[in-house]
Amino acid sequence: MDPNVKVVVDTMWVLITAMLVFFMNLGFAAVESGFARAKNCVNIMSKNFIVFAVSSLGFLILGWGLMFGDGSGWIGLKGLFFASGADNSPATGEAYKGVYSAISWTGVPFWAKFFFQLVFCGTAATIVSGAVCERIKYVSFILFSFAMAMFIYPVIGHWVWGGGWLAKLGMFDFAGSTVVHSVGGWSALAGVILLGPRIGKFDNGNIKAIPGHNLGLATLGTFVLWFGWFGFNPGSTMAADPNAIGHVAVTTNTAAAAGIMTATIASWLLMGKPDLGMTLNGCLAGLVAITAPCAFVGVGTSLLIGAIAGVLVVLAVMMFDRLHLDDPVGALSVHLVNGVFGTICVGLFAQDKITGTATGNGLFFGGGFKLLGAQLAAVISVAVFVFAAAAVTWLILRATIGIRVSREEELRGLDIGEHGNDAYAGFQVFATE
- Considering only residues 236 through 255, tell me which ones interact with its own copies, judged by CB under 8 A: 240, 242-243, 245-247, 249-250, 253-254
Q: Cβ of residue 416: shortest distance to its own copies, in angstroms?
A: 9
Q: Cβ of residue 262: shortest distance to its own copies, in angstroms?
A: 10
Which whole-number Å values give the CA distances from 148 to 8, 54, 154, 275, in the listed order? 32, 10, 8, 33
Which of residues 185 and 259 has its CB atom nearest to its own copies in the complex?
259
| Helix 215-232 and helix 3-35, axial crossing angle in degrees, nearest 10 | 160
Task: Check residue 408 for interaction with its own copies (CB under 8 A).
Answer: no
Task: Check residue 358 for interaction with its own copies (CB under 8 A).
Answer: no
Rounded distance, CA 163 to CA 32, Å? 34
Q: Which residue stretch of 153-161, 279-287, 362-370, 378-386 sits at the interface with its own copies (rule: CB under 8 A)?
A: 279-287
Rounded distance, CA 85 to CA 98, Å? 7
Rounded distance, CA 222 to CA 262, Å? 17
Q: Residues with Cβ < 8 Å from 305, sequence gap 6 or more?
A: 255, 258, 286, 289, 290, 293, 297, 342, 345, 349
Rounded distance, CA 201 to CA 134, Å? 12
Q: Which residue stretch of 13-21, 177-185, 369-377, 397-405 sits at the interface with its own copies (rule: CB under 8 A)?
A: 13-21
Q: Cβ of residue 66: shortest distance to its own copies, in angstroms?
A: 18
Site for its own copies in 66-95 (CB under 8 A): 82-83, 90
Helices (H), 272-369: 276-291, 299-322, 331, 338-349
User: From residue 284 to residue 303, what is the string marking binding to its own copies with x (rule CB under 8 A)?
Assistant: ---------------xx--x
Which of residues 77 and 210 has its CB atom nearest to its own copies in the complex?
210
Q: Which one of residues 233, 264, 338, 343 is an interface residue with its own copies (CB under 8 A)?
A: 264
Site for its own copies in 23-62 (CB under 8 A): 23, 25-26, 29-30, 33, 37-38, 41-42, 45-46, 48-50, 52-54, 56-57, 60
Q: Cβ of residue 384: shortest distance to its own copies, in angstroms?
A: 31
DSSP tag of 61: I
Task: Check residue 198 for interaction with its own copies (CB under 8 A).
Answer: no
Measured over the CA atoms of residue 184, residue 187, residue 193 and residue 196, the dihedral's sign is: negative
